[in-house]
Structure 1
Amino acid sequence: MTKVKWDHIVHYVNDIEEPIDLFKEKNLIAFRGGSHKQWGTYNSLSYFDLTYIEFLGIENRDLVKHVKEPNRVVKDAIQYLPEHEALSRVALRTDNIEEIAARLRDTGLTLSPIMAGKRLDSKGELIEWKMMTIDGSFQGLPYPFVIQWKGTDSERLKSLQSSGVIQDHPAGKTIIHQAIFTVSDPLAVAEHWKEIFHLNSINFSDTVATLSIGEQSFLFKKGSFNQLTEIILLTESPQLQNKSLTIGEGTYTFKSIE
């Protein structure tokens, strides 16, 4: 059975250069990614092994407004920006997007077609992938979207390291550990995501529920936002440990690698 992995986080921002500067102040590397010419968006990125943060902005608002493909990630940019520079959806990575699509349709979810994605990176190199988004939400929380990159994980890791996209952060070893979702009913949301994405439960209660996704986890806690609100990173940097960085409405919290 095809498993999913945590690929990246989408954080909508008005100025994609700002996160680069803020991360640099923390001795973390973020850089200009590139433009999605067919969708009107562009991004800056920060990699922590193969899991990364995508700071997504609107480069061409008119194009975004008139995108014909049912790409919720792009369409939501108009709904969020400029008022809400918020953490949005997580992306789940697979090596068999067709199988995942069939499995999700069997649960009754409405999916976009599998779309071809591409962008030019800052060096003019073409980056390609396939993706699909899930319509609607569960109790107000938007669903993740699913992505399949060209090449295997090991091939991509080697390529991204050799090109300098993935490199050691000056702050020292730092990894993305956990996504925190604030939702009205943590148990119900966690049970639903566990079922449809075949994730494993760590602990469930009325106020907090946690699912594992590989060595990482998704934590759902009780609140009124029904949104991804915080990312937990583990770091060996004494200067970052027990500190937080807020960008717009999203918080990045750094804890010690034990």
Structure 2
Amino acid sequence: MYQFDHLVHFVEQPEKTLQKLQQEGFHVVSGGSHEAWGTYNTLSYFDLSYIELIGIENEEKYKEAAKQKYTLHASYEQNRRKDGLTRFAIRTQTIEEDAKKFKQAGLEVSGPEHFTRKRDDGSIVGWQLLYIGHPNAKIELPFFIQWDEEDSIRRKQLTERGILAQHPLGDLLLDAIHFVVLNFDDVEQIAKLCEAEIVKKEDLEQNAEYRIVVLGDVKLVFVKPIGEGIAWNYMIENGYGIKKAVLSGALEDKTITIDGARYEILKAAK
């Protein structure tokens, strides 16, 4: 079974973005270093789904990592190191089988490969990563992660460490990620491969078509502009990609833009 795992927000200095999000009422903590990639992170959890703020720590190691196709680092480099929401990860428990399945479907596959990260307290967290892509893909495809520990153990450990905790802004959950895309071909292929529910919609007032993919508790909302409207304006100004992240369960409604990323926060339903 596939679950949404995390959303990547590349920033210049994760520790400063951490402070900005904390001022807005988010619970955000330091993560640690990815020594092999020359990056480091800070984290904000919403149960086991989370937002990862990533920055460059070692330029030489980062540039080497960015040479590998379809990786996060390659994406950041291709986007000219533009801050903002970049990619997302899907959690799996069958990563070896996934690699074979995606390859048989005609996708290029890198991995799975095992990695570790040292936390600030010196402890080690481990996982496997699988990257997929295609030279003709119109969107950057998700990547896949399999953690060394089971979900129940991770939840317990994250809670005990204070990483997973109540947000001052409310009982926040990651509700949806919105994308603007050229077409739905890649979206529908990945949804089918992940055995995910997909809903088709059309909004004539907004001049947009939608494909909504459900991964656990998180909805991936893909929008294709078919005429002038909000999605069209975003496409003209920013190109294609992730438009915003939507969180629910807050004490108040508000929208914030921090270091290239738009977060829409919705008040909890009574």
TM-score when normalising by structure 2: 0.87
Distance in 2, matches of 1:70 and 1:131, equals 13
Residues 137 and 250 (structure 1), Cα distance of their counterparts in 2 relative to 1, 3 Å cut: farther
Match 2:166 to one of 165, 168, 172:
168
Q: 1:230 aligns with which of 214, 231, 244?
A: 244
Q: In the TM superposition, what are the counterparts of 1:25-174 in structure 2 within 5 Å?
A: 25-67=23-65, 72-80=71-79, 82=81, 84-136=82-134, 139-174=137-172
Q: Does 1:190 align with 2:190?
A: no
Per-residue deviation, residues 71-108 of structure 1 (Å, max 9, x unmatched) = 611233333354x1021111000112112112211211
Range with greater deviation from structure 2 (199-208 or 115-124): 199-208
Q: Say if 1:149 and 1:108 are closer, same or farther in 2 by CA, change over 3 A.
A: same
SS at match of 2:155: helix
1:246 aligned partner: 257
**CA distance in structure 1 between the aligned counterparts of 2:258 and 2:144, rounded to whole angstroms:** 25
Are the equivalent residues in 2 in contact too, given 1:64–1:75 (CA < 8 A)?
no
Partner of 2:215: 213
Residue identity matched to 2:73: V
Matched-pair identity in %: 29
Q: Is the 8 A contact 2:68 2:74 kept in 1?
A: no
- The question of whether the paired residues in 1 share the 8 Å contact of 2:5 and 2:89 is answered with yes
- Opposite residue 179 of structure 1, the aligned amino acid is I
Equivalent pair of 2:6/2:49 in contact (CA under 8 Å) = yes
Q: In the comparison of the two structures, how many residue pairs are matched?
A: 251
Q: Distance in 1 between matches of 2:38 and 2:266?
A: 36
Please name the residue that 2:229 is paired with: none
Specify the SS of the correspondent of 2:109: coil
Letter in 2 for 1:193: I
Structure 2: which 5+ residue stretches go unaligned?
A: 203-207, 225-231
**Partner residue of 1:5 out of 3, 6, 29:** 3
CA contact (8 A) 1:7 1:52 kept: yes
What displacement does 1:125 show?
1.1
The one-letter code matched in structure 2 to 1:194 is: A
Task: Judge which range, 188-197 or 95-104, deviates more.
Answer: 188-197
Report the CA distance shift for 1:24/1:123 in structure 2 as closer, same or farther (over 3 A).
Answer: same
One-letter amino acid of the structure 1 residue matched with residue 246 of structure 2: I
Q: Which residue of 1 aligns with 2:199?
A: 202
- Name the CA distance, whole Å, in 2 between partners of 1:45 and 1:175: 14
CA distance in 2, matches of 1:136, 1:45: 29
Q: Distance in 2 between matches of 1:63 and 1:214?
A: 35
Cα deviations by residue, 1:123-163 (Å, 9 ceiling, x for unpaired): 11111100111134664210000000011111111111111
Distance in 2 (CA, whole Å) between partners of 1:143 and 1:106 is: 16
- The separation in 1 between residues aligned to 2:7 and 2:136, in whole angstroms, is 18
- Sort the Cα spacing of 1:197 and 1:91 in 2 relative to 1 into closer, same or farther, 3 A: same
Segments of structure 1 that go 5 or more residues without pairing to the other structure are: none
Contact 1:9–1:87 (8 Å) recurs in 2: yes
- Contact 1:138–1:189 (8 Å) recurs in 2: no
Which whole-Å CA distance do the structure 2 matches of 1:213 and 1:221 have between them? 17
TM-score, scaled relative to structure 1: 0.91
